[in-house]
């Protein structure tokens, strides 16, 4: 086999499924959950808010200035990204959780179909971010958000899981723009 045949065979092979569908998303979920636990613990020690504060639908948030561009602001997001579809309701909580789990299952399956590492990595980010937020939604009925850059006019409070989802979407856009799929060649007789 020549080098060019070896390269083309490598390019058409799917990336390592377990790495992109299980291992990396698990790492992202752990990072997200540890950061949220740290934030909840910080606000518990600084302001006396209970660790399960996001289970309280009446909680309005609390903020701590860290620097001139960054604050820690504990908010409980009962909606989806950037608090869209927010509000109360146990049915909405479970419907959003079920929807996120179904989409995540589809993405885990789809990772085995992609042929480039950027798309696979992007899906890994989205899977990890989705699962990180689903854990909160199931546990508290809301997603724990705490990273706040509103001082520099980014008026959304978010978390590591949201960042993973955003990075994944950006990666998929870049893959769609820059990675061209090579047509599969029929087997040589």
Give the separation between CA 131 and CA 26, rounded to whole angstroms.
9
C-beta of residue 75 within 8 angstroms of C-beta of residue 146: yes
Q: Is there a contact between 168 and 129 (Cβ–Cβ < 8 Å)?
A: yes
Q: 26-41: b or e for each residue (b if 16 or more CB lie within 10 Å)?
A: eebbebbbebbeebbe
Alpha helices in the chain (DSSP H): 3-12, 17-18, 24-47, 90-111, 117-140, 160-178
**What integer best gives the mean pLDDT of the chain?**
86
- Report the distance separating Cα 115 and Cα 181, nearest Å: 8
- Residue range 78-102: average pLDDT? 72
Cα–Cα distance, 103 to 97 (Å, whole number): 10
26-35, 52-61, 105-114: range with lowest mean pLDDT: 52-61
Section 67-90 average pLDDT: 74
Q: What angle do CA 11, 16, 21 make, to 5 degrees?
A: 125
Q: How confident is the model at residue 60 (pLDDT cuts 50, 70, 90)?
A: confident
| Crossing angle (nearest 10°) for helices 90-111 and 117-140 | 160
**pLDDT single digits (tens) 132-182:** 999 999 999 899 999 999 889 898 899 999 999 999 999 999 999 998 876
C-alpha 89: how far from chain center: 23
> What residue segments make up the domains of the chain, in order of their start?
16-178
81 vs 124, more confident: 124
Q: For residue 146, what are the CA distances in angstroms to 36, 64, 80?
A: 8, 10, 15
pLDDT at residue 89, rounded to an integer = 64
Q: Give me the percent of the chain exceeding a pLDDT of 70.
A: 83
- Work out the percent of the chain whose per-residue pLDDT is above 90: 62
Q: Over 70: is that where the pLDDT of 13 sits?
A: no
Contact 119, 179 (CB under 8 A): yes
Out of 32, 136, 145, 148, pick the active-site residue.
Answer: 145
C-alpha span between 118 and 179 (Å, rounded): 9
- Give pLDDT, residue 11: 43
> Which residue among 32, 136, 148, 162 is the active-site one?
162
Q: Could you tell me the pTM of the whole model?
A: 0.83
**Active site annotation includes 116:** no
Tell me if residue 162 is catalytic. yes
Q: Higher confidence at residue 84 or residue 72?
A: 72
């Amino acid at each position: 086999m020549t080098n060019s045949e070896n390269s083309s065979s490598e390019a058409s092979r799917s990336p390592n499924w377990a790495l992109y569908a299980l291992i990396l998303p698990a790492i992202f979920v752990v990072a997200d959950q540890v950061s949220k636990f740290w934030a909840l613990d910080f606000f518990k020690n600084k302001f006396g808010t209970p660790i399960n504060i996001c289970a309280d639908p009446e909680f309005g948030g609390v903020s701590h200035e860290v620097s001139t561009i960054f604050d820690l602001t504990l908010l409980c997001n009962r909606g989806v990204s950037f608090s869209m579809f927010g509000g109360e309701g146990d049915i909405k909580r479970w419907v959003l959780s079920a929807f996120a789990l179904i989409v995540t299952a589809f993405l885990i399956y789809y990772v085995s179909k992609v042929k480039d590492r950027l798309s696979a990595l992007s899906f890994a980010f989205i899977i990890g971010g989705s699962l990180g937020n689903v854990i909160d939604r199931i546990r508290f009925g809301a997603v724990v958000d705490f990273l706040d850059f509103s001082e520099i006019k980014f008026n959304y409070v978010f978390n590591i899981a949201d960042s993973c989802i955003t990075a994944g979407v950006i990666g998929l856009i870049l893959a769609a723009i820059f990675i061209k799929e090579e047509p599969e060649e029929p087997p040589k007789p």
